[in-house]
Amino acid sequence: MGEIRELVAVDGPRSQRKHAAILAAAVENFIAVGYDAANMDAIADAAGVSKRTIYGHFRDKQGLFEAVVADLAQTLDRSVGGQWHPDQTLEQQVIDVALGKLALFEEPNFAGLVRMILGVFLAQPELAAKIMAAVQECDEGLLRWLESGKQAGALAGVDVAEADELFGSMFMATILWPQFLGQASDTASRRQKAVIMAKMFASYLRDAANPA
């Protein structure tokens, strides 16, 4: 994780617990007031640690924010994608990936944090670029699934990097941007859109794997 995870003094379970408590408090504070107004004293109080302890784990507020985003991406990475399942159809596996990603993005804290991050992207493009690089580094669950399918011979002709980028673009356009731009729809409608998008993506994979 390099720069993103500025761990300086993690030397055992107690320090790891403090690290986790700081991240949890930071998520709440960032969601509540936004990045610019986030306060390290308030985060320290909520985490039950001193501000000095926070700076022992993270170099500054930006370092803490980057770690929060990295944890967000790692949660997504653990929840979505994985290994190819030869006993399941291609379409069903893609639907499961899409619905898993949708469910995670609908978690209140997750959705609130993503909204806050989007605001940072608009206000601080340099920080946005750095964070996007971190997210891409962590969020490889779908890429691993595609590579696993290719190794199994089911997706032999697929350019996995291109497919991974396409899925992300489709998900953003179909699910995320409408939600974050206030074009609200209910859970059932979002789920239906995710399934339709997944079927379209599965059709693309099928065609790419078996070119005419």
Average pLDDT over residues 199-211: 92
Residues 143 and 169 in one domain: yes
State the pLDDT at residue 209. 87
Q: Tell me how many domains the chain contains.
A: 2
pLDDT at residue 198 tops 50: yes
Both 107 and 37 in one domain: the answer is no
Highest mean pLDDT among 3-7, 62-66, 179-183: 62-66
Phi-psi category of 48—alpha, beta or left, where left has phi over 0 and alpha has psi -120 to 50? Answer: left
Instruction: Tell me which residue range forms the domain holding 25.
Output: 1-79
Q: At what angle do helices 141-151 and 61-79 cross, to 10 degrees?
A: 40
- In tens, the pLDDT along 78-91 reads 766 788 999 999 99
Q: What is the pLDDT of residue 137?
A: 59
**Same-domain check for residues 32 and 50:** yes
- Across the range 52-72, mean pLDDT stands at 88
Quote the pLDDT of residue 135: 60
The sign of the torsion formed by the CA atoms of 154, 160, 164, 169 equals negative
Where a domain ends, among 79, 99, 125?
Answer: 79
Q: What are phi and psi of 39, to 5 degrees?
A: -120, 125
Residue 9 pLDDT grade (very low, low, confident, very high; cuts 50, 70, 90): very low
**Tokens at 169, concatenated:** 């673009």
Render pLDDT for 124-151 as a digit per residue (tens, 0 to 9).
777 767 766 666 555 678 888 999 999 9
Mean pLDDT, to the nearest integer, of 186-204? 92
- 12-47 pLDDT, tens digit each: 678 888 999 999 999 899 988 988 899 999 999 999
CATH code, domain carrying 62: 1.10.10.60
Query: Do 112 and 183 sit in the same domain of this protein?
Result: yes
Which residue among 79, 108, 132 closes a domain? Answer: 79
The pLDDT assigned to 50 comes to 93
Which residues contact residue 126 at a Cβ distance below 8 angstroms, ignoring those fewer than 6 apart?
Answer: none
pTM: 0.69
pLDDT digits (tens, 9 = 90+) for 151-186: 999 999 999 999 998 998 898 888 777 766 666 668
What is the C-alpha to C-alpha distance for residues 74 and 129, in angstroms, rounded to an integer? 18
Q: What is the pLDDT of residues 65-112, one digit of tens each?
A: 888 888 877 776 676 678 899 999 999 999 999 998 888 777 777 777
Q: Do 198 and 97 meet the contact criterion of CB atoms below 8 Å apart?
A: yes
**113 and 23, same structural domain?**
no
